[in-house]
Amino acid sequence: GELNAHHKVPFTEIVTPLLAQCDKASMTEDAKIEFIETHPLFTDLDNLITLCEKCHYSLHKRQYRAKPRKGKV
């Protein structure tokens, strides 16, 4: 199977503030992608682990199931 890089700090927690910076700077979509893909927070090897595709999917499935949804207890 394929190997996947998994961010220990969730991808959205890294990308959301970076996108806000891009929006303030009125960057093009291509510039946003380059900025995020090369940003140290995104590429920090200490924040990455390698998982097989099946394990990566299972990990995300468990993480999303464990988070309560708005209005749900």
Q: Running along the chain, 73 residues long, what does each successive block of 10 average in pLDDT?
A: 88 91 92 91 91 91 61 47
Whole-number pLDDT of residue 64: 62
Whole-number pLDDT of residue 72: 47
Residue 17, CA distances (Å) to 21, 51, 61 in order: 6, 26, 24
Whole-number pLDDT of residue 70: 56
Q: Quote the strand ranges of the chain, DSSP E.
A: 3-7, 48-52
Whole-number pLDDT of residue 73: 42
Residue 66, CA distances (Å) to 18, 30, 48, 63 in order: 26, 34, 21, 5
Residue entry with tokens 């749900």: 72
